[in-house]
Structure 1
Amino acid sequence: MENTAILTGDVVNSRAIAPQQWMPLLKETLFHFGNEPKEWEVYRGDSFQLQTRPALALTAALTLKATLKELKGLDVRIAIGIGDKSYDAQKITEANGTAFVYSGQCFQHLKKLNLAIATQNKTFDQTMNLMFKLASLTMDNWQPATARVVKTALLQPEASQVELATLLGKSQSTISEALLRAGYDEINQLLNYYKQYITNL
């Protein structure tokens, strides 16, 4: 059975800002990675679940983080579970399998951390979770303008800085500075490392 990725998440500080402000942004990003409700759902007000390909899971998680951090004071907690989907359903929240179990258990253990992964390979998990901790030192401090640039860059991975500048109505130097502040080169290295090893699980 082919592996799948399940992201379980919730919006941090969701009550501080009216849902009319953040819900459309959240749903727009979720739509980019799948269809509702088969592949994603928002439930209990500020929680969500998303199914995607394992290779895309970290990109999806970081894009969702950048999306919520576009609004000052908001953030997101996400647990990625990689495993099988042994029971399919019309709604993602009613499906089941080891990917769901790993994701759910991982989410329950998220305390101070905002991002973690659980798979059948504990050595891989340890390595990735340490890398997530280090990346979070930068990502947790993204300001709204920086987060918007990161989100756009993650959704348009082939776009040059000039093209990103056009998309966002900014100068190329502003884009360059934002990506530097965001640690975007290092985030890309993290994504490439993840993609390289996730295919071997």
Structure 2
Amino acid sequence: MSDKTSSSEKKIPQVAVITGDIVNSQNSEQGDDWLSALKKQLSYYGESPRDWQIYRGDSFQLIVYKAEDAFGVALRLKAVIKRYKELDVRMAIGVGDLEHHADQVLQSNGEAFVNSGRKFDSLKKQTLAVKTPWQDFDKAINLFIKLALLTIDDWSETSAEVVAASLEHPQATQKEIAALLAIPQSRVSERLSRAGYDAIRDVEEYYRAAIKERI
């Protein structure tokens, strides 16, 4: 990609759009608990229906106005949903401009929506992927995500609970997370290690830095 192209793209206001659905929701024995948890998590990032919407019962779309935050948001959504037995969430992050911001996010459009929708439609067994205006970055980040998913997709409910709390309180110590969840600190350390937390945070930091360089 030429410097001229990169310079031109940097002038475009960039957002991220996350398109997702809940895997195995129809067979869940968890009732609507997961839906309440999903709504609560989405509400951290804006108001419905302008910033996020749930549709078809178990699908959703969310605008993340700071595109560099989107991977971290997706990780939090993953952790929240995987606290429920046999459930998972499949998501595509699309980065690009926001051409039309409607009163309902599902009626908004722009490059970010196109990238998110197309990437989501191309997902097969993989449960998280990214599409941006920068093909070189996409190739690298999607490889890192594919490797990270080997661990993330196997998170147990207890590991997901600890990861969710750690992501929600990034400055908290393991002792503080343990107190929050009413479990021994040794369990927090053990579950974060099993969840590959440090390596996954490294991927998040790479995504964040690389996106900030390009917008």
TM-score class, shorter: over 0.9
SS in 2 for 1:22: helix
Q: Which residue of 1 aligns with 2:13?
A: 2
Q: Which runs of 5+ in 1 are unaligned?
A: none
Unaligned 5+ runs, structure 2: 1-11
Please state whether the residue corresponding to 1:82 is helix, strand or coil.
Answer: strand
Q: CA deviation at 1:19?
A: 4.6
In structure 2, the residue matched to 1:80 is: 93
Equivalent position SS for 2:171? coil
Percent identical: 45
* 2:35 pairs with 1:27: no
Bigger radius of gyration among the two: 2
Q: Deviations over 1:123-145 (max 9, x none)?
A: 10010111111000000000001
Amino acid at match of 2:123: L
User: How far off its partner does 1:171 sit?
Assistant: 1.1
Q: How does 1:27-106 map to 2 (within 5 A)?
A: 27-52=39-64, 53-106=66-119
Deviations, residues 49-107 of structure 1 (Å, cap 9, x unaligned): 01112111001111111111101100010000000110011111110000000000000
Work out the CA distance in 1 between the residues paired with 2:85 and 2:31.
Answer: 14
RMSD: 0.9
Q: Does structure 1 residue 191 correspond to structure 2 residue 208?
A: no
Amino acid at match of 1:5: A
- Which stretches of structure 1, 4 residues or more, deviate above 3 A after TM superposition? none
- Between the aligned partners of 2:106 and 2:25, the Cα distance in structure 1 is 21
1:1-51 alpha-carbon deviations (Å, 9 max, x no partner):
410000000000011115512100111111122221111110011000011
Aligned length: 201
One-letter amino acid of the counterpart of residue 94, structure 2: G
Structure 2 distance, partners of 1:33, 1:159, is: 21
Deviations 1:111-167 (A, max 9, x none): 011000001101100101111110000000000010011011111111111111111
* Distance in 1, Cα, partners of 2:128 & 2:213: 21
